[in-house]
């Protein structure tokens, strides 16, 4: 098994994990604020404040279009969802709390799968 073949296998395993993790994020009861792109017409100020919007449906699309090189590039986009949420929402708000819960769930899950 060449080094290149091992790399290819790792990426395949990594992308299988992305699919598992994304399905679990989408199924989580606190996922509702993150399932679709924030409609900046419905949320005043969002487009100005959040420079790189991201949501689970966009991640789903990127995964389907093979736009994630590996698990790392996928984790960067998932963390972007939660970082945007923290930037825009009060910690003590419905959406803010959902973001913290989802980040905690995600961090626990991917470390479980990798360890
Ligand atoms: C993740 C996030 N951060 C900041 C604002 C919104 C959102 N989510 C959108 C889907 C959303 C969530 C809840 C809403 C809404 C839009 O539009 C108005 C009614 O309540």
Here the ipTM equals: 0.95
CA-closest residue to ligand 1 atom 14: 33
Nearest ligand 1 atom, CA 94: 13
- C-alpha of residue 87 to centroid of ligand 1, in Å: 13
pLDDT at position 1 is: 83
Give me the half-sphere count of Cα atoms (radius 13 Å) on the Cβ side of residue 54: 20
The 10s digit of each residue's pLDDT in 22-58 is: 999 999 999 999 999 999 999 999 999 999 999 999 9
Mean pLDDT of 56-64: 98
Which structure tokens are listed for 105? Answer: 């769930």
pLDDT above 90 as % of the chain: 91
Judged on CB neighbours under 10 Å (0-12, 13-18, 19+), 5 is: exposed
What pTM did the predictor assign? 0.95
Nearest ligand 1 atom, CA 88: 4
The 10s digit of each residue's pLDDT in 7-24 is: 888 888 999 999 999 999
**Residue 56 CB partners (closer than 8 Å, separation 6+):** 22, 25, 26, 31, 34, 35, 36, 81
């Amino acid at each position: 098994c060449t080094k290149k073949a091992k790399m290819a296998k790792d990426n395949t395993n990594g992308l299988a994990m992305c699919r598992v993790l994304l399905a679990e994020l989408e199924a989580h009861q606190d996922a509702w604020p993150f399932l679709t792109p924030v409609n900046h017409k419905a949320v005043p100020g969002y487009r100005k404040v959040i420079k790189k919007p991201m949501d689970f449906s966009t991640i789903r699309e990127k995964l389907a279009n093979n736009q994630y090189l590996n698990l790392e590039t996928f984790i960067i986009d998932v963390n972007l969802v939660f970082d945007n949420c923290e930037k825009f929402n009060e910690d003590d708000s419905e959406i803010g709390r959902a973001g913290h819960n989802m980040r905690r769930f995600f961090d626990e899950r991917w470390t479980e799968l990798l360890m």
